[in-house]
């Protein structure tokens, strides 16, 4: 059984091992494959039966040419890089990794928020540059410092990751408003309740995005929705960049309507030099690394291997298209 990993570097830049996957077949691992160059993708897949991808596209053209494919595994939760409907028509299961990064992504959302509230990195550099040594007072700060206790966090998408972020926010003394199409009312308590989007926009001091990218959620943070929010709201997004109309968020940041934003994802990745958020005030941007702690990536690797094992045993798991 031939196994090809098309773009394995971000999952395993060298600190993990492919050995468990190698035991399941004749393994070829490419660090990077062009995301959209069908010719290169087809050449690298060759006659392999098992294909593992992260961001490299497996579209209809590829599926029509590479007729030996029996299984497609995605090294991520999102699977929009695969034309899974065509794969279904060809009886090819597409399997994702649904729960590997829950704690890491929730933790990172709070990290973005805390950095906005305290600017710890900036103040550390200011000390090292001599600013504290030269200060006439025993302390100084260059940005307003924000206490979160008693404030309200609105979380859009209250699945596993949203709930993790919510628990961390509650531990900081925050109240949580959650919006989700699937409600688990058992989670409601004195400091957490479900609400509709309008109330969430109106009442939240911080809004965190943890929802999937669907046609109905694409661009949901836009000029209209921002107008409903509190003046000085903070927006956190380490879900999908396309949830935000970036030009509208840039305008809101520069006008002060939105106090600050922390984003780990943008509409096109890697980010392009003309992305409006690069010129926005008080916008913290990191390079899509919420998921990337070694512990999280090891879980991803383990689940990916188990997905392949289950397929080979005739009992595929985490299938999204069958």
Alpha-carbon distance 10 to 296, whole Å?
A: 12
* DSSP sequence for 42-64: HHHHTT-SEEEESSS-B-HHHHH
156 phi/psi in degrees, rounded to 5: -95, 110
**What's 189's DSSP letter?**
B
* Helix axes 102-118 and 160-171, enclosed angle (nearest 10): 40
Contact between residue 127 and residue 182 where contact means Cβ atoms under 8 Å apart? no
Contact between residue 293 and residue 284 where contact means Cβ atoms under 8 Å apart? no
Residues tagged active-site = 240, 269, 288
For residue 64 the two structure tokens come to 């029509």
């Amino acid at each position: 059984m031939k196994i090809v990993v098309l773009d394995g570097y971000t999952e395993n830049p060298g600190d993990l091992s492919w050995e468990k996957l190698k035991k399941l077949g004749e393994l070829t691992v490419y660090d990077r494959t062009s995301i959209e160059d069908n010719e290169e993708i087809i050449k690298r897949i060759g006659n392999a039966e098992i294909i593992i991808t992260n961001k490299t596209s497996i579209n209809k053209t590829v599926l029509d040419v590479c007729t030996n494919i029996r299984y497609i595994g995605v090294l991520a939760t999102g699977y929009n890089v695969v034309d899974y409907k065509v794969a279904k028509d060809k009886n090819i299961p597409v399997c994702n990794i649904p729960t590997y990064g829950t704690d890491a992504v929730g933790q990172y959302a709070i990290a973005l928020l805390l950095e906005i509230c305290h600017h710890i990195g900036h103040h550390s550099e200011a000390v090292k540059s001599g600013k504290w040594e030269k200060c006439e007072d025993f302390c100084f700060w260059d940005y307003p410092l924000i206490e979160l206790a008693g404030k309200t966090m609105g979380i859009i998408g209250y699945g596993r990751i949203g709930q993790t972020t919510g628990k961390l926010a509650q531990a900081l003394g925050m109240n949580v408003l959650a919006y989700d199409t699937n409600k688990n009312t058992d989670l409601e308590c004195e400091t957490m309740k479900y609400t509709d989007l309008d109330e969430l926009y109106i009442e939240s001091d911080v809004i965190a995005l943890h929802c999937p990218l669907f046609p109905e959620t694409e661009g949901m943070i836009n000029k209209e929705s921002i107008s409903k929010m509190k003046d000085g709201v903070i927006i956190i997004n380490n879900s999908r960049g396309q949830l935000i109309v970036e030009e509208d968020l840039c305008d809101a940041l520069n006008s002060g309507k939105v106090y600050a934003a922390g984003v780990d994802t943008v509409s096109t990745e890697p980010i392009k030099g003309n992305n409006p958020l690069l010129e926005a005030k008080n916008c913290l941007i990191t390079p899509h690394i919420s998921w990337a702690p070694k512990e999280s990536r090891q879980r991803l690797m383990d689940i990916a291997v188990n997905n392949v094992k289950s397929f080979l045993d005739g009992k595929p798991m985490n299938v999204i298209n069958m």
